[in-house]
Structure formats: structure tokens, C-alpha cells
Copies of this chain bind each other. A is one copy, B any other.
Amino acid sequence: MEITFLGTSSGVPTRSRNVSSVALRLPQKSEIWLFDCGEGTQHQLLRSDLKSSQIRRIFITHMHGDHIFGLMGLLASTGLAGAKGQVDIYGPPELKDYLNACVRYSHTHFASRVQVHPVQPGVVFENDQFTVTCNPLKHRIPAYGYAVTEKDRPGRFDVEKAKALGIPPGPIYGDLKKGETVTLEDGRQVSGKDLCEPDEPGRKFVYCTDTVFTENAVDLAADADVLIHEATFAHQDAEMAFERLHSTSTMAAQVALAAPVKQLIMTHFSPRYAPGNPIRLNNLLEEAQAIFPNTCLAHDFMVYEIPRHRD
């Protein structure tokens, strides 16, 4: 699971940071899931190592323009991935109406079959490899955080060990691989579990934006490998954070600490922390690290590989 940040600025693009979008490349698959799609996301994809044609699912946190204004352009430009070129989009209930209105006024024909799924708290998607859940955050308009939980991988079946025990290869290996107990022709009983390495625990990716500090983010991020959390403001600008229902660096760190998570990546920075402002993004980093040391700052095109849980 590989994360690529496509936009890390809040509200407006700057020369070095675009508005929100994060790509998640799935393991062993040429499939990408996108989280938010601010204006210019398709342009950022062109400049990245990702192929926008591989986008299979798009998860939208909330309806503010800096999180959705790139969606129409992306969908119009790209024949997207999956069976019959389908893309599934998950987001607040108004998302479907918004896209329908845009399609109608702009006479757009999507290059892919687009299906929009309104989300509710809980499971929003599940297949044999992943479960995606969402939880409401605390913003000026309804906003949802998303958690992608990889299912545990069954441990590798040890063929050599099976052969050494004198078990002849055949359909019986299939049962043993599933961990079942089988009776051999000579009467011996063998448990597949003894022939399999332990399961490899799945990984967990969590994306929380836009929001002020909320226990719902803590719950969603429980035991995550990576938490991407917005940190629009520095700690000393907390008043603005409360007023606009955004987070400070220290709120992001509090969520990471309470969850807890393994790694916090902060993003969605206010463009105010630019030369001329005595506060710099490094100050946000230091503030967060004082609470949760394993914190870093996202930047556009930053790639983060979530490590597997091999023993």
C-alpha cells in the first residue's frame, strides 16, 4: 500500500502545493483509490508516477470546493480502471446531485461508467482484501473520515514441511492450506495450521480532513499504521481553528496519540505559513512532535509506503 500526496494545501493552491487529494496504490494490483479531488488533481496525476486510468474508487470527505472541484475534469478526461471501466465514488449525499448538475450543464460524457454511493457512518465498501469504513468528523458542513483496513493474509503453506511428513501432493494440500485438519490414508491426523506460517496482519490507513479535534477521528484511527490528519493551523492560531472548524498541529498529534497510530502525516496546511509569517510549517511539525514524535509533514508528490507486518 503506497500513498502519494497530490495536494497538501488548504483552501487555495500555491505554487508548490495543490489543494487536497491523496492517492492510495493497492498492493499487487494496478489499482488506485483516490481520497478527495481538488481542482488540478488530474494535472498532478500527469506529473506523478501514477496513471489516472488506474483509479478505481474515489472517496470524498466533504463538499467544499477545494476537495471536489477536480472531480468533473478527472472523470471527463480519463477512461478509468476496473471491470468495464467503472469507477465508484463514495461521499456525502449531495455529491451525486452535484455531479449530475455538472454533467447536465457541461454536456459531459464520462469516459467511464461512474457510480456514486452516498455514505453513512460505518462500512462503505468491502471486498475480499479490504474494508473501508467512515466516521463523521466535525467541520462547518458534514465531513467524513475514512479508514481502509486490509484483511489479514493467510500465512504461507510450507510445502517442504508437508512433504517431509510424507503427505503426498494432491487436493489434500488445498484443505491444509485453509488450515483444516485432515486424516491421512495411514490414519494420521494433521492440522493445516501446523503447516502454515502465522497470518500476516493487515494494514490500516486513515484519512481525516476537514475537522477540528474530534473523538470520532480517534475512534476511526484506532491502531492505524498511518493516520493522515489535517493540520491547517499552528497551535497559536487555535482560535481560528475553532472558529473555522479546522485542526491545529497539536490537535492532529492528540488524535494520533490517543488512537494510537504508528505514523502521523499532517497535511492541508494554510497558505499563511509562508515567508513573511514568523510561523513556518517546521513549527507545526515541532509542535506536533512534542506530543507525538512519529509525525511528519506531507508535501506534494511525497510517497509513503506502508510497511507490511511480516514477522
Contacts and interface: CB of A to CB of B under 8 A. Distances in A.
A47 interface: yes
B107 A73 contact: no
A70 B77 CA distance: 14
Nearest to A68: B106
A49 interface: no
A302 interface: no
Interface stretch (A35-43, A151-159, A219-227, A286-294): A35-43
A65 B106 contact: yes
Bin the interface of chain A by size.
35 or more
29 contacts: A11-B77, A12-B42, A12-B77, A14-B46, A15-B46, A18-B43, A19-B73, A39-B39, A39-B40, A39-B42, A39-B69, A39-B72, A63-B105, A63-B106, A64-B106, A65-B73, A65-B76, A65-B106, A65-B108, A66-B76, A68-B106, A69-B69, A69-B72, A94-B105, A97-B105, A98-B102, A98-B105, A101-B102, A102-B102
Interface of A: 11-15, 18-19, 39-40, 42-43, 46-47, 63-66, 68-70, 72-73, 76-77, 94, 97-98, 101-102, 105-108, 140-141
Instruction: List 8 tightest A-B contacts by C-beta distance, closest first.
Output: A98-B105, A39-B73, A101-B101, A12-B77, A65-B106, A40-B40, A69-B73, A65-B76
